[in-house]
Amino acid sequence: MTITPTHRKQWSGLVTDNPQAHIGILGVPFDGAVSFRKGAAQAPERIRQLTPHVAPITEEGLILTGVDIFDYGDVERDLDWSRYFDTVAQQASLALEHPFTIFLGGDHSVTIPLLQAFDAKINAPYGILHIDAHTDLIDSFEGHRWSHACTERRALEFPHSRADRLVFCGIRAWLEEELDFLKAHPEITLHTARQMHLRGIAATADAVIERLQDVEHIYLTLDIDCLDPAYAPGTGTPEAGGLTTRELLEFLRRIFAALPIRAMDIVEVAPPLDYSDITTVAAVKILYEVFGWLQNR
d(CA 122, CA 289): 25
Structurally, what CATH architecture does the domain formed by 10-296 represent? 3-Layer(aba) Sandwich (3.40)
Residue 147's pLDDT is what?
75
Q: By 3-state DSSP, what share of the chain in percent is helix, strand and coil, each rounded to 5?
A: 40, 20, 40
| Tens-digit pLDDT profile for residues 45-62 | 999 999 999 999 999 999
79 has pLDDT over 90: no
> pLDDT value at position 24?
98
pLDDT band at 7 (very low <50, low <70, confident <90, very high): confident
Q: What pLDDT sits at residue 146? A: 63
For the segment 240-265, what is each residue's pLDDT rounded down to a tens digit? 999 999 999 999 999 999 999 999 99
**Most confident of the following: 20-34, 138-152, 178-192:** 178-192
Element (H, E) at 223: strand 218-223
Specify the 3-state DSSP secondary structure of 199.
helix
Helix 111-122 and helix 81-95, axial crossing angle in degrees, nearest 10: 40
Q: At 24, which helix (H) or strand (E)?
A: strand 23-28
- Please give the share of the chain, as a percent, with pLDDT higher than 90: 84
Residue 162 and residue 51: Cα distance in Å, rounded? 36
pLDDT tens for 197-212 read: 999 999 999 999 999 9
Rg (CA), the chain: 18
- Please tell me the predicted confidence (pLDDT) of residue 37: 76
Is 158 or 9 the better-scoring residue by pLDDT? 158
Going by C-alpha positions, the residue among 79, 150, 145, 141 that lies closest to residue 108 is 150
Per-residue pLDDT reduced to its tens digit, 225-244: 999 999 999 998 899 999 99
Q: Which residues contact 295 (CB under 8 A, 6 or more apart)?
A: 62, 64, 65, 66, 67
Q: To the nearest whole number, what is the mean pLDDT of the chain?
A: 93
Does residue 31 register a pLDDT over 90?
no
Report how far residue 145's alpha carbon sits from residue 23's, in angstroms, rounded to the nearest whole number: 31
Average pLDDT over residues 79-92: 92
| CA 263/CA 51 separation, integer angstroms | 20
Q: How far is residue 112's CA from residue 49's CA, in Å, rounded to a whole number? A: 26
Structure confidence at residue 33 (pLDDT): 53
Residue 223's nearest CA partner among 127, 119, 103, 141 is: 103
